[in-house]
Structure 1
């Protein structure tokens, strides 16, 4: 880890010129004391780094110094392969590896291209944290130590023990054969097999993980996108799903379908509103989705859903019936 950090420190000084100890500490995510120790280690190893005193001082390399320490390590190469999805690097614990890898990539560019590449990168933004309506994409936090152990088992093809807290159940240990990792809308999932059956585990519910020495029982090659599509289809068509008949303002059709699992039937009523038969994951999901549309939607069936929405609306009306 320290060797990688020393390489990153040298590359930062090469690409950005003079930097203060505080600025280096922020970039490397360490303390200023650690930066000072690293500077001493580089000087002792013959790297021509020197300090400039004063208000605008900092550390710099002698002009013309160049190092060939740009080889990518395993995690950095893996980070570049998933760099098309910035969320992927966060969910899979590869964010720092990606930052280090990109420093090496930039350093390997010809000097004439370096500034141009940096300028272009500033004008391209992929997958921002919020959309134009300021709706923030919530990314689940998973401890780096846990996701790193899971990632190592997936890459190595070894069995994996996870301490998993399934919804509504006490946590317990399970031994699985990992197939791959998927990130979808800020949430990470482990696709695996257990006793020959397909299993999907949410990374945020993994409390601990341990890679085993035993090889995983899994196919040599996998089309992860196809596997994810198949499991998504089974999820949408199984379990405790609820089918709802709803009357919906056409202007809010996309909002409803954005939360529903599937549309069973659709027609336009004589009043111009849509009559939709849609499936939801469970009763709670159905109630939440119809409530979001307020008066732009009406649940026609089942009756229990109409009752729940009426009771919720009555409680809200009662709360605001008198001045605060």
Structure 2
């Protein structure tokens, strides 16, 4: 880990020219004290790094210094392979590896191309943290140590022991045979089998993970795309799903369809409103989806959903009935 950090420090100085200890600490995600120790280690190893004093000072390399330390390690190469999605790298705990790998890629470019590439990169922004309405995207926060342990078990083909918190259940330890990792809209999933049955685990609900020495019982090759599609189909057609009959303004149709699991039937009433029968994951999912549409939608059935929405609206109206 320290060797990779020293390489990244050298490449940062080659790319930026001069950086303060605080700026280096931010880029490397370490303390300024660690940066100062790394600078001393580089100097002792013969790397010509020097300090410039003053308000605009910092650390720099002697002009013309070249290095051969641009080889990618395993995690950096893996991060580049999935670099089509920056958030995918984050979901799998490879965000820092991707940043380190990109430094090495830039450093390996011919000098004539380096400035051009850096300038072009400034003109591109992929997956910003907020949309046009300043709403933050909901990326899941999974500790890197947990994701790294899961990742190692997946790649090594070893059994994995996880402490998993399923919805509305106390956390339990379980041993699984990991198959692969999938990221969908900033959410990471572990595809695995348990006692021969297919299982899908949300990475954000894994509280601890331990790679075991025992080989996993799984096929040598797997089509993750097909496996994910099969599990998605089973998820949409099983479990505690509920069917709902809705009258809906046509302008909100796409919004509701994008939220529902399936559309079972659809017709137009005489007034132009749509009458649709849809399925949702469970009662909470159905209540949430209809509440988002306000008066543009009316749940016609089941009755418990009408009652739930009525009670919720009444509670909100009561809360705002009197002026503060």
TM-score w.r.t. length of structure 1: 0.97
What residue in structure 2 maps to residue 307 of structure 1?
307
What residue in structure 1 maps to residue 44 of structure 2?
44
Give the superposition deviation at 1:210.
0.6
CA distance in 2, matches of 1:207, 1:321: 43
Give the superposition deviation at 1:198.
0.1
Residues 25 and 284 of structure 1, relative CA distance in 2, 3 Å threshold: same
What residue in structure 1 maps to residue 272 of structure 2?
272
Mean alpha-carbon deviation: is it higher for 182-191 or for 94-103? 182-191
What residue in structure 2 maps to residue 141 of structure 1?
141
Give the superposition deviation at 1:169.
1.8
What residue in structure 1 maps to residue 184 of structure 2?
184
CA distance in 1, matches of 2:265, 2:39: 67
Are the counterparts in 2 of residues 263 and 279 from structure 1 also a CA contact under 8 Å? yes
What residue in structure 2 maps to residue 246 of structure 1?
246
Q: Any idea what SS the aligned residue of 1:154 has?
A: helix
CA RMSD of aligned residues (A): 1.1
What residue in structure 1 maps to residue 105 of structure 2?
105
Give the superposition deviation at 1:130.
2.5
Q: Any idea what SS the aligned residue of 2:18 has?
A: coil
Give the superposition deviation at 1:271.
0.3
CA distance in 2, matches of 1:250, 1:134: 27
Give the superposition deviation at 1:289.
0.7
Q: Deviations over 1:211-250 (max 9, x none)?
A: 0111111111111122111111110110010111100011
What residue in structure 2 maps to residue 234 of structure 1?
234
CA distance in 2, matches of 1:32, 1:131: 33
Give the superposition deviation at 1:306.
1.0
Q: Which runs of 4+ in 1 moved over 6 A?
A: none
Q: Deviations over 1:130-173 (max 9, x none)?
A: 23333322112111111110010011111101111112222221
CA distance in 1, matches of 2:257, 2:129: 22
Are the counterparts in 2 of residues 291 and 309 from structure 1 also a CA contact under 8 Å? yes
Give the superposition deviation at 1:21.
1.2
Are the counterparts in 2 of residues 76 and 100 from structure 1 also a CA contact under 8 Å? yes
CA distance in 2, matches of 1:170, 1:163: 10
What residue in structure 2 maps to residue 213 of structure 1?
213
What residue in structure 2 maps to residue 318 of structure 1?
318
What residue in structure 1 maps to residue 170 of structure 2?
170
Where in structure 1 are there 5+ consecutive unaligned residues?
Answer: none
Q: Any idea what SS the aligned residue of 1:307 has?
A: helix
Give the superposition deviation at 1:191.
0.4
Give the superposition deviation at 1:129.
2.4
User: Matched residue pairs, number?
Assistant: 324
Q: Any idea what SS the aligned residue of 1:42 has?
A: helix
Mean alpha-carbon deviation: is it higher for 187-196 or for 123-132? 123-132
Are the counterparts in 2 of residues 187 and 202 from structure 1 also a CA contact under 8 Å? yes
CA distance in 2, matches of 1:101, 1:154: 22
Q: Any idea what SS the aligned residue of 2:244 has?
A: strand
Q: Any idea what SS the aligned residue of 1:64 has?
A: coil
Q: Deviations over 1:265-297 (max 9, x none)?
A: 111111011111111001111111111111100
Give the superposition deviation at 1:65.
0.6
Matches within 5 A, 1:22-61: 22-61=22-61
Give the superposition deviation at 1:42.
0.8
CA distance in 1, matches of 2:261, 2:3: 49
Where in structure 2 are there 5+ consecutive unaligned residues?
Answer: none
Q: Any idea what SS the aligned residue of 2:259 has?
A: coil
Are the counterparts in 2 of residues 9 and 24 from structure 1 also a CA contact under 8 Å? yes
Q: Any idea what SS the aligned residue of 1:258 has?
A: helix
